[in-house]
Structure 1
Amino acid sequence: MHDGIRWLVDLEHWMSSVVFARGISAQELAVRMGGDRDGATEPITDAEAWDLGEWYRPGQDGDGVVRVGEHGGWSFALEYGDSTGGERLAEISRDGAEAVHYVPMQEHPPATVFYARDGAELCGFGLGEEVWRWGREPDLLLPDLVAGHVLEPDGTTVIAHEREHYTDTYRRTLGVIEQRFGLSLSPAYLGEARLPAYAVRGTPDTHI
């Protein structure tokens, strides 16, 4: 079953992000995000990940954890707490790998998408703000966004979409990303499905 990633728009209380990587294993993804290669926990659920350690400490850096797995030909990492692993896309994508980082930003729209390949952050943009693109190749996904009726060929927003609810526009753009890269993630991974977790920042108590 192909779950795609458009359903991520509908998450209401999940404030972390998702990193997808192709060309490396789930364990290697965790390591490139800052984890210890031998530091995996026993497989845990999404709810159990949120119960780990002290995420935020006044005046100090917070803890960060990722749960990792493989789905649809890509490795993926779900970020929790104060993880900064998703900011390391150049490192994640080195040596011919690819990486896609989706940040929901539900309390502070827009959500953002970044794409990196072979050690370079190539393009990124905010969902609903695709007219402003950045990276080494900011127009890399422009043809896909045009084909997906997100942008006009000149890079401006499709006027007919201006009155849509932001979740509808987000879903359309995620559909473009989903199709371009063949991304898929099962909703079960944010439910009761168990995945190994790695500490990637701070000292969370990962003993379950």
Structure 2
Amino acid sequence: MITALINQKGGVGKSSTAVHFAYWLQRKKQTVLLIDSDAQASSSMWVKSLGITAIAETDPNELAEKIPEWIEGFDQVVIDGAGGITETTRVILYFSNVALIPCQPTALDLVSSGSAVKLVKQAQRFRSDLIGATFINRAVPRTKLMVEAETALSKIESIAHLKTVIYQRQCIADAFGQEQTVFQMGVSGEKSATEYSNLFEEVMALWANNGNL
């Protein structure tokens, strides 16, 4: 399975989710490759410290040429999408089985996520097997905006909305600097680890329910 994290807006937790997903898959005894197409290259640096194979590449032509070669021999591939909606994002969607769109529960982020949703829907015209899904990330509990975001995202046609919410916590912010994931942080990362596990189980269920085993 090839899973891409995409969004037009930076700072939505795309790289953090990609790294945690790659690590979670590795703990499930899967062989994992992370492809980092973001210019900051933070996710590739991060996962290498976790013992996960990573390739950093931002050029869309290079990605189009090399992805089929790179993914050989891996059970799972996680792609950290480029910042913004670029030609690189279109190339990534050409190869992906699942496109995940993290969205912060703010009015600006909902608008920005709309561009990513539109791009996934365009790709689905040519790739009927491409699964698109949104989820709320970096949320603050019990806010009106979060409820409104849940309602808006759940109404998007042809795009699933995952029920699990990833709440904003310091342990996630600290994980990169500590070269860890929340799964390795003990009690301080326990709540976030549970949320990520639930989210990733939903992703795998989407894939399985689409006729893939």
- Greater per-residue helix proportion: 2
TM-score, length-normalised on structure 1?
Answer: 0.31
Which structure has the highest strand share of the two? 1
TM, length-normalised to structure 2: 0.30
